[in-house]
Structure 1
Amino acid sequence: MKAISSRIILGIFILSIGVVALLSNFGILDYSVGQLFLNFWPLIIVYWGVETLFKPGGLLQRLIGVFIALIGVVLIANRIEFEPLMFNLSSLWQLVVPAILIVSGITLLTGKKKIGKSHYAVLSGLERNRGTWKLGSESYVAFLGGVELDLSLAELPSQETHLDLTAVLGGIEVKVPRDLTIICEGQSVFGGVEQLGDESAGIFTSKKETRHEPNLSTDHPNHGKILRISSSTVFGGIEIDFA
């Protein structure tokens, strides 16, 4: 569906240029190709939004896609003076701050549900990087704060362990051992996520399953153990790297 939708937008744009050029050359239409580009270049933004909307992902990604596409539509409406959709973009910041809060709330609400303990760093820091400690399926939230975790010092249960990370206007740094199977996935809005050297940043990015699967002997303490990390960040950053 994504490919069809984005191809339709691009096709309509190119077709329109051709039709306008043809009609202008024969004096049927008093509208130049230059005017077409000047008024409808925001279709590139609409195209970008539709691409984001139809990429594989969750509700948050779809909302971002709709928001980007609407900005493009409003820009076009303003240029061609189509009053029903005209909007003063100088007041865009009046929407941006509430939008940040809405997106942040959705990010927190759509986190992993089957997680045990929840830990919060709100206007503060949380560190677990000294001495041995036990890690279960847990969630960590950094809101205007920071979290540092050294999992090379942690004791993990024998079954699969889930770690849910959320950074809103904050940062989370996680160090993981190399002798452990690790599966990472993450998404960011106006932020960045780095997963075992695989880095992504921008208005909206979504990373699916960065995997690290060491070849361990059956008698290795971490044989059969799996750590699955899910990351979400809004105006923040999450870094997952080897210790």
Structure 2
Amino acid sequence: MQTRRLPSQVVLGALVVVVGIVLLTETTGYADVDVFWTYVPSLFILLGVYAFVASGFRNVIGPLIIVGVAGAWQLVALEYLTAEEVVQFWPLLIVLLGLSIILGQYRSRAKSVEGTYVSALGIFGGSEKRASGAFTGADLTALFGGASLDLRDADPEDHPVHVSTTALFGGVEIVAPREWNVQLDVLPIFGGASDDRARSEDEHEHVDLVVTGFAAFGGVAIED
């Protein structure tokens, strides 16, 4: 029997609840929580690590951004670095983004031997892809643009198939058949992730598609 792990959204929600409880404790004067605030960034570091592991090491850029920003925040909170010193290293985020794009292209080529693996990249524009026949997975990235994938004619070789998504100031749209059982596990930071398909009468327990990824100031949507 396979053990179901907690979705990244649930972990993020639990983290927000913890922060809210601590805030309530502070505002009501019940306890002094100054030490807690010093180590709040570590909670986000753990969240990024969890998102990385939970995606099966498929999603890199989102969790790395969370770990990098939270790690820098923690160093500043512990006074190992100043905010001015940290700001000097912001171009590293661009480096990480570029490495993620390269990794996605490499993964696409490596898996194309086994079947159809789709890679779509939309930067300041749009990228539309359609999977037809054998389908083994996809890597979709939207940066200040959009990326879409139509899976209505796809025939998954194994169940479930995995689609990795990254939406930064952009949107990713996946068109999936209504009868597919889709597991959505996208980590939203000032973004959103939703399955907007109408409910199907032909429901089954096994998962057909797993969508993982990261959405910041953007969104990932499943349509039919």
TM over 0.5: yes
TM-score scaled to structure 2, two decimals? 0.55
Q: CA deviation at 1:183?
A: 1.8
Partners of 1:149 and 1:51 in 2: CA distance? 34
Query: Counterpart of 2:154?
Result: 155
Structure 1 residues 226 and 233, CA gap change in structure 2 (3 angstroms): same
Identical positions, percent: 15
Partners of 1:135 and 1:194 in 2: CA distance? 26
Count the aligned residue pairs: 181
Q: Report the residue type matching 1:155 in the other structure.
A: A
Residues 76-95 of structure 1 aligned to structure 2 (within 5 Å): 77=79, 85-87=80-82, 89-95=83-89
TM-score scaled to structure 1, two decimals? 0.52
Q: Report the residue type matching 1:232 in the other structure.
A: G
1:228 aligns with 2:209: yes
1:102 aligns with 2:83: no
Larger Rg: 1
Partners of 2:205 and 2:158 in 1: CA distance? 7
1:57 aligns with 2:80: no
Partners of 2:157 and 2:183 in 1: CA distance? 16
CA RMSD in angstroms, aligned pairs only: 4.7
The answer as to whether partners of 1:181 and 1:214 remain within 8 angstroms in 2 is no
Partners of 1:118 and 1:242 in 2: CA distance? 18
Partners of 2:86 and 2:195 in 1: CA distance? 36
Q: CA deviation at 1:91?
A: 5.0
Partners of 1:136 and 1:237 in 2: CA distance? 26
Query: Counterpart of 2:3?
Result: none
Structure 2 segments unaligned to the other structure (5+ residues) = 1-10, 27-31, 54-59
Q: CA deviation at 1:180?
A: 1.7
Partners of 1:174 and 1:180 in 2: CA distance? 12
Partners of 1:108 and 1:233 in 2: CA distance? 17
Query: Counterpart of 1:177?
Result: 177
Q: CA deviation at 1:69?
A: 4.8
Q: Report the residue type matching 2:133 in the other structure.
A: K
The answer as to whether partners of 2:190 and 2:218 remain within 8 angstroms in 1 is yes
